[in-house]
Amino acid sequence: MPDRKPPETRRPATDRVRTRSADNRRPGTKKLKAKILKAKPPAPAAPDAIDDATLAEVFRRFEAADPNPRGELEHVDPYTLLVAVTLSAQATDKSVNLATEHLFKVADNPAAMVALGEERLAGYIRTIGLYRTKAKNVIALSRRLLDEHGGVVPPARAVLESLPGVGPKTASVVLNIAFGEPTIAVDTHVFRVSNRIPIVVAKTPDDVQRGLEERTPARFLLYAHHWLILHGRYVCKARVPECPRCLIRDLCRYPAKTGGIASIPAPKL
């Protein structure tokens, strides 16, 4: 009987499988993949931003379809709006409204929120993503409002952005909706729509906000935030934009429009 190799000198089974797999690969696989990649057509160049006249027409159509748009987060005053927007980060407005419907019945002002406490607040918002961090921030910002601002939400960007959990987008939403300041909050929908049409082509929300506020005609600036969000949420969707029912489809320069330019009545935003 032939001698067998001692166990310690035998190659591990995983090594033998790996070697056989590598040895049995079809020759030329890497070259074939390289040819396929090389043959792929380059992505179309991003279109230039629409001109000022076209931009004015975009907002004119949005205004005609929905002259008085409003945000979809339920609130009764600047404080409940601030809380709702803070909770809405990485969450849908619908999920926030479901939570705040019960929360605001027991705590709709800074004093009541601080009295409620972080643990009990977390119980009301546990269906929202990152609820523990958000509960901590809401209690902290409520305490700051009590200690430094008499329990009142101030209409000042610098103060708002200094509050726990409040960034530029949240501050812009509160300033626009609660205090009527003509500012444009840039969330994922506004960012996508601006780069698709395109109105402002930029890589960061801050740059998009600056560009939109510079380019948007003054008469449309107060509601531009709402029109762009609603358009992105219900028509110019992330995965499959509904271009055939878009009321600005003939003005938009997005190169990957879906469907055809159909003569379908544009829906109300």
CATH architecture of the domain covering 46-71+182-269: Orthogonal Bundle (1.10)
Give catalytic status of residue 187 as yes or no: yes
Q: Where in the chain is the domain with CATH 1.10.340.30?
A: 76-181
Q: How confident is the model at residue 23 (pLDDT cuts 50, 70, 90)?
A: very low
State yes or no: pLDDT of 43 exceeds 70.
no
Residues of the chain with CATH 1.10.1670.10: 46-71+182-269
Query: For 46-101, what is each residue's pLDDT tens digit?
Result: 799 999 999 999 999 999 999 999 999 999 999 999 999 999 999 999 999 999 99
Percentage of the chain lying above the pLDDT 90 cut: 78
Q: Which one is catalytic: 94, 187, 206, 257?
A: 187
Region 126-132: mean pLDDT is 96
Query: 76-181, superfamily in CATH?
Result: Hypothetical protein; domain 2 (1.10.340.30)
Q: Which of 96, 134, 142, 133 is nearest to 115 (CA)?
A: 142
User: Can you tell me the distance from the alpha carbon of 249 to that of 263, in angstroms, rounded to the nearest whole number?
Assistant: 10
Provide mean pLDDT across the span 197-206.
97
| Model confidence at 167: pLDDT above 50 | yes
What pTM, to 2 d.p., does this model score? 0.78
pLDDT at 259: 83
Active site residue 94: no
Cα–Cα–Cα angle for 134, 228, 218, rounded to 5 degrees: 110
Token pair in block for residue 267: 């829906």
Residues 242-266: what's their mean pLDDT? 80
- Of 108, 134, 114, nearest in space to 122 by CA: 134
Q: How far is CA 148 from CA 94, 117, 159, 162, 228, in A?
A: 32, 19, 10, 12, 35
* Residue 30 in this model has a pLDDT that exceeds 70: no
Assign 194 a pLDDT band (cuts: 50, 70, 90): very high
Residue 265, pLDDT score = 38
The amino acid sitting at 108 is D
Give me the mean pLDDT over the 172-181 stretch: 97
Contact 244, 262 (CB under 8 A): yes
Tell me which of 14 and 200 has the higher pLDDT. Answer: 200
pLDDT tops 90 at residue 260? no
pLDDT at 213: 97
Kindly name the residue from 33, 169, 206, 268 that is annotated as catalytic: 169
pLDDT tens per residue across span 87-125: 999 999 999 999 999 999 999 999 999 999 999 999 999
| Alpha-carbon span 197 to 218, nearest angstrom | 20
Mean pLDDT of the chain: 87
How would residue 44 be classed by pLDDT, with cut points 50, 70 and 90? low
**Does the structure show a pLDDT above 50 at 26?**
yes
